[in-house]
Structure 1
């Protein structure tokens, strides 16, 4: 899977409302020991911790969905991209890849 497709699949994880489907998607996108950090959450490790945070966050999203804005740059095993949550929020994520999946996400809200 190329970098852009992997990033799109990662955003699909955030958009998936069904807990079981989200966990299945996570196994194809994120390493088992993936690490997630953003301004509200530090050091979430693995699929279950991130999935729980996503489920709680979705309660405040309403019908809003994450979309990819721009892949700004990629090099070696890293990518920097911008995303949008409907028309109400934007942010930047830095992701690190390992074995064809995402192993680390550092998110920034704008």
Structure 2
């Protein structure tokens, strides 16, 4: 199976597809819709699927995705500059990563991180 290439496209629950698509477009994602209940947001090789879930409650049904990025600080700066959603500044972790996070209007968490430089 060494020649198998796997690509994941996380499906995030949303209450309002128009709001979700607008949020991800404001972040710089390319967005499109399949229909009134399903859409897509793509950025830098990442493709998120956005699915309307009736009765979506972010406290019970939100999702989390971890993004491996080359520079967590650069990603955080890009997200903060958009002025949408909630983005936390990256911090160094005890397990050798520098990680930050972004939460969309539906409570979905996009964690992002990059390896700490050697000797950090």
TM-score normalized by the length of structure 2? 0.27
Structure number with the higher helix fraction is 1
Structure exhibiting the larger radius of gyration computed from Cα positions: 2
TM-score normalized by the length of structure 1? 0.28
Structure number with the higher strand fraction is 1
